Amino acid sequence: MKLIQRLNRIAFLALALFLSLGAGAAFAGTNSTNNTLYIADVKVGLTQSLWTIGGWTYAPVKEIADLMDWKLEYDGDSGRTTIRNDLGDVLAFKAGSSVVALNGGTYDIGGTVRLKEGVAYAPLRVVAESMHASVGWKEQEKVAVLRQEELYAVVAGDTLWRIAEAHDTTATALKVRNGLSGEALTVGQQLKIVAPEFLDPDVSEQKATAAAAEAIDPADVTLLAKLVEAEAGSEPYAGKLAVASVVMNRMHNDRYPDTLRGVIYAPGQFSPAGNGSLERETPSKDSIKAAKAALSGENNVPGALSFFNPQLEPAKAKRLKAIKKIGHHVFV
């Protein structure tokens, strides 16, 4: 009965959200993969689309939390969002950062929590698995499936390795997930068996690297690398990465276009793009490396939307608050 009531509530909430914004808003969205997903066996329409970038599928945090009955809190002073479930899991993060806190531990998930049109988006799988929900896939419909999972009760003959293998995770991740100091188990012991990949650094690093490399469009690498070369060719690698990061920051800020080409060729923004010299640039190895790193989610100037040379623009240096100075450039 409880499950039926919960599913009915999900369906009602989805319908209410749809009606409150209208069909146009419900199905609009740039860079979205889908406006629908399943919560258990109930198909739900989202008011904010799932959004794929850099090999990650991002979801609107508040809407997913509401649909899954997770408690969400936002601290305006710190910019910190916290999500809790009934099992005692606590996930906290900030927009613009790839670092999250889960149950007292701090982890780098590899994908930055982002803002899009004022809405916080986080990697769907990271949020779901942190809240002990599995993420599946309906291949025919091309739709994700979220399912809140129950705790697993250990039975005679179980080992941590066998449990991990049965639930598509690792023994290392299960140990961290359940706060275990060793691998000894007792019959009847209850375990959380949905473990985020970032709990096992080896698996997390391997999968993140492979996914990011596969998802990057070579044309995007070339375009961004040319801009980096044009704007920061004589700068150290950190300065090149920072310029690439500014472009990515703009992509995820609703004041700018949300495509790489749109940001770079926006009128009056980057002079090499405006005067035609960008196409003639030959990027160095470091510029290509910086472009790939930024497109994979690496960011050494979070929040910076522009940069300038204070020696050439001293008035601007006095007027604007710097986020970071690297080489000859100040990033703001």
Examine the fold and report which residue of 148, 182, 205 is the final residue of a domain before the chain moves on. Answer: 148
Same domain, 94 and 227: no
Give the CATH number for residue 298.
1.10.10.2520
Residue 313 falls inside a structural domain: yes
Please tell me the total count of domains within the chain: 3
Give a yes or no: residue 259 inside a domain: yes
Q: What is the CA radius of gyration of the chain?
A: 22
Cα separation, 177 vs 200, in Å, equals 10
| Phi then psi dihedrals of residue 14, to 5 deg | -65, -40
Co-location of 124 and 7 in the same domain: yes
pLDDT digits over 24-82, tens only? 222 233 344 578 999 999 999 999 888 887 667 899 999 999 999 999 999 988 889 99
Residues 137, 81: one domain? yes
Average pLDDT of the residues of the chain = 85
Type and span of the H or E element at 248: helix 237-251
Q: Name the H helices within 111-169.
A: 124-130, 160-166
Domain with 104 in it: 2-148
The verdict on residue 55 lying in a domain is yes
* Domain co-membership, 144 together with 160: no
pLDDT in tens, 7-40: 444 444 433 333 333 322 222 333 445 789 999 9
Contacts of 211 (CB under 8 A, 6+ apart): 55, 56
Instruction: Let me know whether 99 and 118 are in one domain.
Output: yes
From start to end of 97-240, where are the E strands? Answer: 99-102, 105-108, 114-116, 119-123, 133-138, 143-148, 152-153, 190-191
Same domain, 71 and 157: no
17 and 133 in a common domain = yes
∠ Cα 191 194 104 (to 5°): 80
Question: Residue 200 domain-assigned?
Answer: no
State pLDDT tens for residues 251-309.
888 889 989 999 999 999 999 999 999 999 999 999 999 999 898 888 999 989 999 99
Within 8 A by CB and 6+ apart from 314, the residues are none
Residue 117 within a domain: yes
Same domain assignment for residues 268 and 144: no
Give yes or no: residues 293 and 167 share one domain.
no
Phi then psi for 136, rounded to 5 degrees?
A: -110, -170
Same domain, yes or no, for 179 and 268?
A: no
Task: Identify whether residues 156 and 134 lie together within a single domain.
Answer: no
17 and 144 share one domain: yes
Among 161, 193, 225, the domain boundary falls at 193
Which one has a higher pLDDT value, 318 or 3?
Answer: 318
Please check whether residue 84 is in contact with residue 101, taking contact to mean a CB–CB distance below 8 angstroms.
Answer: no
CATH number at residue 75: 3.30.457.10
Residues 100-129 have pLDDT tens digits of 999 999 998 877 888 877 889 999 999 999
Q: How many CB atoms lie within 10 A of CB 58?
A: 28
CATH number for position 156: 3.10.350.10
